[in-house]
Structure 1
Amino acid sequence: MTTTSTSTASPRWSTWPSQDRSRSRSIAALMVLSARAVVFAARLGAVPRRNPCGRLAGRRYTDCPVKRGLDTSAKSCPVVTEPGWFTPRWYVLRTRSRHEKVVRDQLAQREVEVFLPLAERWSRWKDRRQRIAVPLFPGYCFARFLLTERYRLLNLVGVATLVGFAGKPEPVPDPEIEAIQRLAASTLQYDPHPFLTEGMDVEVVRGPLAGVRGKLLRKDRTTRLVLAVTLIRQAAVLEIHPADIVPVR
């Protein structure tokens, strides 16, 4: 008589050490969380998606002709490819009267890179004079952000609109912002100045503003340099020695 012994085979995973099982569960949980994060970001418009026409477009924007299927011949979405979509750029926020510093403080609280150039001037009170800091370009504040963030910034107190052309925000060239930032950080005396369309382009070759380019202006035998922000048609002017500048070819 033959006796047949039966043994129940344990599942393969049960032979794994408990540490390996915990690691596998952690990896699976991370994969699920990553998938959910991608779906959530796509709903917010931070992740581009494919349109029915097969073109790449942002989900948030409804004015994209490619997304709406009105232009199937375009090679790429004009909204996605415009500057500032994936790379932060400098933009100009137009503010309400005397709200420049209010807007600056709100942007700083939201960890948005902000730049509000100030100029000092004398203010007369009842019995004394006091030197105060006022915005160099009244009614404007500079901020560096992605275009996907513009809607929440436009809802800030004191913000009127975003400066641009044909209803589209226009970024400010980095060299223009850097020139005004270096001027504000220096100890030179400067004041607001009307925007000029005429004048020679010059470059500073020595001093704290070496490498900065601007417009040359002569007034009352004094050589002055005008640093302009073309988008908002504003400028600042400072006195400079003729030997410190050279023409730009």
Structure 2
Amino acid sequence: MNPELLWFAAGLVVAGLAAGFVGGLFGIGGGIVIVPALYFVFSALGLDDAVRMHVAVGTSLSTIIATSWRSLSAHTKAGAVDFDILKTWTPWISVGALIGAAAAGIANTEALLLIFGGGLLLIAAQMGLANPNWRMFAELPRGIGRATIAGGLGLLSALMGIGGGAIGVTVMTLCGRPIHQAVATASGFGAAIAIPAAIGYAIVGWGREGLPPWSLGFVNVGGFIFLALLTMLTAPIGARLAHRLPQLILKRAFAIVLAVLALNMLREALL
């Protein structure tokens, strides 16, 4: 086998194992780990700079399709999902995700790096500093407010390659929803983002030069298979460990790691 393909496969294995474990341990989407992991794997392999971030984001989104349904099913069995929120929010989230995928088609690598780095820095701050008991509003927005926030959530998540869980949980808890219900319900946002966005990334990236092996546009099929399987393998391990370790200390420590990753991505964009 081509040595380059072996290194590519090895990088996918490491990214998938790490993403699943971290997702299970902290209850966050694996895209936060998968995107930077794939970006640096592609950089090490010398993938064309013009497409490496696009493929990292598009491939991350494709894996969320499987993991979101699995997570939503588990939370549904526990009776923690508010399906009224899913019914009223997911159409707007999907519209935002489609717009985000279309925007990615005309955005350059530096723009995507800036968006991901800035968004990740905010998520790190929320994870390390925010109190889940904070409340700003009595209830979730309706009408134009709901459409704007849900659409923005889908758009930003599609540009970052994440499932929207971190953003969705923050919005719901600030609007008075219990943290467990917010986490469970936000797990359903992933598919609403990932399905239209992944299709969009495949379309806008079709025929581009410099794509890695096994790619459909900006979605790498090899990456999807490896990452989807491996994240499902290690996520239960992380989830079991989460109940045995001090969550507050762990989350703050991981927030520092995310902040370092975010600053590194921002440095890549600026340099």
Normalised to the residue count of structure 2, the TM-score between the two structures is 0.21
* Structure showing the higher helix proportion among its residues: 2
* Structure showing the higher strand proportion among its residues: 1
Q: Which has the larger radius of gyration?
A: 1
Q: Identify the structure with bigger relative contact order (alpha carbons < 8 Å, sequence gap 6+).
A: 2
Normalised to the residue count of structure 1, the TM-score between the two structures is 0.22
